[in-house]
């Protein structure tokens, strides 16, 4: 009986979130992407402030390794916006993108005569926030 009670409360909260006019942004974040912060920022700087469709086109054709993982994050943020907030993908744009440094993975490479050299692999956090374009922005851009 408690499970049904909790489930009904969750459904009510989801309905409130979907109909809430105040919060119109959705985010997606990934904790461990195996690229350095500078290489991820090189891709992020290309897509900051752009629309969702334009971002997908740009990320499809960028030759960098980080672009595929960032494309997955952008798609995830768009799906979160659609499911949780009821936002349309075509009306959304990337409002905030963060790339932060994570821990360093340390490995050891064996070398000659029993020596070893350290291998340091950097890892980064990426957070992407999508917002809906307001209708007034559409009206001003048509003029």
Torsion of CA 120, 39, 32, 50, to 10 degrees: 170
**Residue 20, SS3 per DSSP:** coil
Classify residue 85 by its DSSP letter.
Answer: I
Residues 6+ apart with CB under 8 A from 24: 85, 87, 131, 132
Classify residue 133 by its DSSP letter.
Answer: P
Residues 6+ apart with CB under 8 A from 138: none
Residue 7: predicted pLDDT:
56
Q: Based on DSSP, count helices (H) and strands (E) in the chain, helices before strands.
A: 5, 3
Per-residue pLDDT of the chain (143 residues; tens, 9 = 90+): 455 555 566 666 666 555 555 556 777 777 788 888 899 999 999 988 888 899 999 999 999 988 998 999 888 888 888 887 777 777 888 888 889 888 888 999 999 999 999 999 888 998 888 888 765 454 455 54
Give the CA diameter of the chain.
74
Q: Which domains does the chain have, with CATH numbers?
A: 30-99+125-142 (3.90.470.10)
């Amino acid at each position: 009986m408690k499970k049904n009670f909790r489930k009904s409360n969750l459904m009510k909260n989801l309905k409130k979130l979907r109909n809430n006019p105040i919060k119109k942004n959705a985010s997606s974040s990934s904790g461990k992407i195996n690229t350095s912060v500078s290489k991820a920022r090189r891709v992020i700087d290309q897509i900051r402030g752009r629309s969702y469709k334009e971002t997908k086109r740009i990320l499809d054709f960028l030759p960098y390794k980080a672009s595929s993982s960032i494309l997955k994050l952008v798609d995830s943020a768009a799906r979160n916006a659609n499911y949780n907030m009821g936002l349309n993908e075509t009306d959304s744009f990337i409002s905030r993108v963060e790339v932060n440094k994570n821990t360093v993975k340390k490995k050891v490479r064996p070398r000659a005569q029993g020596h070893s050299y350290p291998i340091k692999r950097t890892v980064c956090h990426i957070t992407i926030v999508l917002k809906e374009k307001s209708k007034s922005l559409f009206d001003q851009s048509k003029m």
